[in-house]
Amino acid sequence: MTHTSSVGPVADAGPTEVIERAAEAELLEAALLSGAHVLLEGPPGTGKSTLLRQVATGRRIAFVMVEGNAELTPARLIGHFDPALVLTKGYVPDIFADGPLLEAMRTGGLLYVEELNRIPEETLNVLLTAMSELEITVPRLGRVAAAPGFALVAAMNPFDAVGTARVSGALYDRTCRISMDYQTAEAEQEIVGLRTRDIDPTWRARVVELVRSTRDHDDIRFGSSVRGAIDVARLSVELARLRGTTTDDWHVGLAAAKAALSGRIRLHDGCDRTPEQVVTALYVAVFGAEPSESDRDPASDSDASPGSPGEP
């Protein structure tokens, strides 16, 4: 489990500039100002964490982030008495190590739980109590009340098959839900541009088109998020450098697309093609068929040297 907290600007969060989410940002801001708990629901990579970071940073509110998974037990969420110190001092409050929930409650900050639908049921129950009562009772420590400003922001992927059934009506009844769908093509191009500067916008738009086409294909159950487009672009830049060719080289792009996307897409059961074959077909549909030898730039002839992955 990871658990990070910060007040004000988040140092390790990458760019906090949010492209084209003004309506969602405004809603999130209003929800937090109104004291509501919030559920951000949307597929992976749709900017849920980025949006929350931006809003929390802008308002300079304390922000505790936990990754939701099966290991997030109530004790990890709440905190624990240091066992070594209990032996010498007994159960006194100052040897209690606050977990993320207590930290957020005491500081009046936000508790951000990613992948909320993956946490164990008893942990979800602790959260539900904290949300509706704004206080919890911890054995041997006593009652801990939330300082003003405390709120839960939970993120969830609606397509996540792991443990989704557990997320009950009780949670939906205590939260305002902000739905985050995939970004527009223009927004995705800008996002890729933020992460990979100095690339040709026309080529970048095609990379985004390729990645978007993975979300709407008969053989694919789940397509790639914008993270796939960021990786295709970055990988192409480095691969082109190693091969002494240009980023928009057809073979460079295909190798990058296969590496960046084949693991990100999930094919339907019974599909008789491999992920690489599906990515290759989508790549050809967007970038055209493999250029013939006579079309090739002599400068990129080294492309055929050993070490270049064999293209089908």
- What's the helix, strand, coil split of the chain in %, to 5? 45, 15, 40
Decide: is 19 part of the binding site for ligand ATP (CB under 6 A): yes
Nearer to ligand ATP, 46 or 300 (CB): 46
Decide: is 114 part of the binding site for ligand ATP (CB under 6 A): yes
| Distance in Å, CB of 114 to ligand ATP, minimum | 5
Report which DSSP code applies to 300: G
Q: Which of Mg ion, ligand ATP, none does residue 45 bind to, with CB < 5 to 8 Å depending on kind?
A: ligand ATP
Instruction: List binders of ligand ATP among 128-187 (CB under 6 A).
Output: 155, 157, 183, 187
Decide: is 117 part of the binding site for ligand ATP (CB under 6 A): no
With CB under 6 A as the contact rule, the residue among 38, 41, 45, 245 that binds ligand ATP is: 45
Report which DSSP code applies to 118: G
Instruction: List binders of ligand ATP among 242-271 (CB under 6 A).
Output: none
| Distance in Å, CB of 277 to ligand ATP, minimum | 26
The residue of the chain with the least Cβ separation from ligand ATP equals 47
- Please list the residues that pair with 38 across neighbouring strands: 153, 176
Q: Which stretch binds ligand ATP (CB under 6 A): 18-26, 164-172, 202-210, 246-254?
A: 18-26
The residue of the chain with the least Cβ separation from Mg ion equals 49
Binding mask 47-76 for Mg ion (x = CB under 5 A): -xx---------------------------
Decide: is 48 part of the binding site for ligand ATP (CB under 6 A): yes
Decide: is 21 part of the binding site for ligand ATP (CB under 6 A): yes
| Distance in Å, CB of 155 to ligand ATP, minimum | 6
Decide: is 191 part of the binding site for ligand ATP (CB under 6 A): yes
Cβ atoms 240, 249 nearer than 8 A: yes
Cβ atoms 147, 108 nearer than 8 A: yes
Give long-range contacts, CB 8 A cutoff, 24+ apart: 6-10: 6/62, 6/63, 7/60, 7/61, 7/62, 7/63, 7/107, 7/109, 8/57, 8/60, 9/57, 10/53, 10/56, 10/57, 10/63
CA distance 239 to 233: 10
Residue 130 has which token pair? 């904290």
10 Å CB burial of residue 108 (0-12, 13-18, 19+) is: middle
Instruction: List binders of Mg ion among 10-49 (CB under 5 A).
Output: 48-49
With CB under 6 A as the contact rule, the residue among 49, 189, 196, 214 that binds ligand ATP is: 49
End-to-end CA separation in angstroms for the chain: 41
Hey, CA dihedral for 230, 235, 236, 241, is it positive or negative?
positive
Which residues are at the interface with ligand ATP (CB under 6 A)? 14-15, 17-21, 42, 44-50, 114, 155, 157, 183, 187, 191, 226-227
Which residues are at the interface with Mg ion (CB under 5 A)? 48-49
